[in-house]
Structure 1
Amino acid sequence: MAKWTAFPHDAAPYTYDAATLKKKWARLHRGDAEPLPKDAKVLAAWALYHAGDFQAALSAGEKAGGAGITVANKAQALYATYLEKNEKTKLASFQEVAERAEAQAEAEPDNANAHYLMAYALGRYSQGISVAKALSQGLGAKVKAALERTIELQPKHADAHVALGAFHAEVIDKVGSLLGRTQGASKSAGLEHFKTALKLNPDSAITMVEYANGLVMLEGDKKMKEATKLYEQAAACEPMDAVEKLDVEMAKAELEE
């Protein structure tokens, strides 16, 4: 496997030993509601993920198996989202994650994050190939169903609410509300999911960023002021791990544009 791009910031503040990680677990996993792993090897893989060593987290998670597949999938999906520069490699990574997560969901139908990470990877893949093209391939329905299943299994899954809000916003933005309706997309549902996500995870920079993007997609320029405020709040968030740091930096970059 080719060497992945290193996390571009100081990882020291996000490098946790097992005891500290357990203590901070609830806050770190407020977004994905992943239960604290019983297996020390899986916990070690998560420590690598939170410190931004995504390639090592993928490898450790796959080796651990079981609940380790979740951290492997999340590490590869988030790495592809934030740090992979090559578009072809990025899309291939999302496909790999989607396949692995789908297999995990089939083996463990009640595993909320198996459904969520399949939806996340397919959603990012769809953005990469164009939302309209993805919808014509039936990927929209698959993403929506997997996210709804995630929330059914874990109603407090803030990240799934964010992703479902983004689904409604992206579809309406790309194909319009009339065609969007045929995909099960609606403005009111999208906004409701964003609000729920922010209620569940009020310190999450990515929730604020996605909500801001969704507001502009669904409501247009009249919501620009509100969206900018959300970006400012996201930029001021205190990151607790490597991914949160990347989210905060993304919000800052967006404000500078």
Structure 2
Amino acid sequence: MAAYSAPFWRSLCLIAFCAISLQLHAASDDKAEDDIDDVSPEELQMQDIPVDERIFVEKWNEVPYKKSYFTYTDKQIRDKWEYLVRGLKVPYPSAAYMEEQFTKYPFMKEGIIGWDGDYQALEARSLRVWRKFFAGDFQEAREEGLQLGPIGKIPALFSQLMYAIYLADRQSTKYMMLQDVANQAKEYFDDMEEAADDPAVAPIVASIKLGYAYAIARIAEESPVPIVVARRYIGKIKNSAEEVVEIMPDQPLGHAFRAGVDAGIMRRVGKFTGRMTYGARTTTVQESFADALKLAPDIPIVNYEYANALIYMNRKRDLNEAISYLEKAMKIRPEFSMDALDVMYSYKRLQEVRLYALNFRSFRKFEKLRRKYSKKTDRNLTSIISDPLSMEMLNNPEKYILPKRN
């Protein structure tokens, strides 16, 4: 018999507890079969997903729109800055700003490649990266942003997040990219601690922490419950969500993320277990989304995530309201890549919601079939360049398996 570590056995005990809890409360939460998926001991022992660096070298898929729609000059970026970053509220990377912050926090200039101390030149390089992010040149924005140290991490890592979630063909590629975002963000946690209370730098700290938490949350939301428990995803995500709001209380995406975390917990384990085991509350979801929508009502992702939350908390009871928020997200006119992809995904998510509404009594059964399909086929279900999910796909996943990676 294979020998496993003490932490592994503790994880198994916790997983068993969650399985019993799910079985006890599934009836009250969803009147459905439990949510436990089969996983291997090897999967349970793996804390971080191994990243194959070839995914960054190969040519990435292009966005499904003309990049010229959102390609702005330096002046246009300066003029539109507050609107374009209304979700994160990060400061404009001016030469004066960077010089002042680099003096206070020397770690912020570490890792900048090919820089001779000219802050005007650094501002121009930073704008070039942001321009590519706004337009949807995600691969180039990532590559160039990572050469700018911490100041370039935000456009670089959010470019990678957008690609992983909305444009990667494979679920395995998506997971590796998300894990890499989390890995890179974590590198700066210790250095950023001293700057978290500085209002001038807090938006950068909050955004990097949000990128970390958002990445692992996107892995967790489609992973089997035993893996979520074994890798301690819920604690990491929930703690990070609270940190982001504490550091940056006027960041709309931070409030929306905190709300989405509690709704996501209810999605996986139900209201009762979510509240008793993880402290997930419907009041937190409602209040945090209200804060996010008050701060920025025209961000597509806030609206579609609220729609998701209504379904995760109340299944079909609030389905019409959920659909109305998806439709609202679809009608928002985007002015840069992230909003454009969020709008496109809102349409795809609406097709999934209708599939669930018309064909399933049990939300858990729909979710389990959805995860089973993705695991068997290795298809990324949040990709906006692939077809919406259908009953034919769910019933015949073997027909849609992607070829093995070379």
TM-score normalised over the length of structure 1: 0.95
- Further displaced range: 214-223 or 204-213: 214-223
Match of 1:140 among 222, 228, 234: 234
- Structure 2 residue 68 is the aligned partner of structure 1 residue 12: yes
> Greater RCO between the two (CA within 8 Å, min separation 6)?
2
> Following the alignment from structure 2 to structure 1, what is the Cα–Cα distance between the partners of residues 249 and 338?
23
2:271 and 2:313 in contact (8 A); partners too? no
Deviations 1:51-95 (A, max 9, x none): 001000001101122310121111111110110111111111111
One-letter amino acid of the counterpart of residue 90, structure 1: K
Q: CA deviation at 1:254?
A: 3.6
Q: How does 1:1-257 map to 2 (within 5 A)?
A: 1-38=57-94, 39-109=123-193, 110=196, 111-130=205-224, 133-181=227-275, 182-256=277-351, 257=354
Deviations 1:106-140 (A, max 9, x none): 22122111111110111111123235521342111
Q: CA deviation at 1:40?
A: 2.5
One-letter amino acid of the counterpart of residue 319, structure 2: M
More helix, by proportion: 1
> Following the alignment from structure 2 to structure 1, what is the Cα–Cα distance between the partners of residues 209 and 272?
28
1:57 and 1:75 in contact (8 A); partners too? yes
> Following the alignment from structure 1 to structure 2, what is the Cα–Cα distance between the partners of residues 131 and 96?
22
Q: CA deviation at 1:173?
A: 1.8
> Following the alignment from structure 1 to structure 2, what is the Cα–Cα distance between the partners of residues 128 and 89?
14
- Further displaced range: 50-59 or 8-17: 8-17
> Following the alignment from structure 1 to structure 2, what is the Cα–Cα distance between the partners of residues 65 and 151?
24
> Following the alignment from structure 1 to structure 2, what is the Cα–Cα distance between the partners of residues 121 and 242?
18
> Following the alignment from structure 1 to structure 2, what is the Cα–Cα distance between the partners of residues 212 and 62?
34
Q: CA deviation at 1:184?
A: 2.2
> Following the alignment from structure 1 to structure 2, what is the Cα–Cα distance between the partners of residues 65 and 85?
29
SS in 2 for 1:156: coil
> Following the alignment from structure 1 to structure 2, what is the Cα–Cα distance between the partners of residues 130 and 166?
18
Q: Give 4+ residue runs of structure 1 displaced > 3 Å after superposition.
A: 253-257
One-letter amino acid of the counterpart of residue 77, structure 1: L
Give the number of aligned pairs. 257
Percent of aligned positions that are identical? 31
Deviations 1:189-235 (A, max 9, x none): 11211111111111111111000110111122221111111112111
One-letter amino acid of the counterpart of residue 175, structure 1: V
TM-score normalised over the length of structure 2: 0.61
Q: CA deviation at 1:188?
A: 1.1
SS in 2 for 1:222: coil
> Following the alignment from structure 1 to structure 2, what is the Cα–Cα distance between the partners of residues 164 and 136?
22
> Following the alignment from structure 1 to structure 2, what is the Cα–Cα distance between the partners of residues 69 and 35?
14
Structure 1 unaligned segments of length 5 or more: list them: none
> Following the alignment from structure 2 to structure 1, what is the Cα–Cα distance between the partners of residues 332 and 224?
31
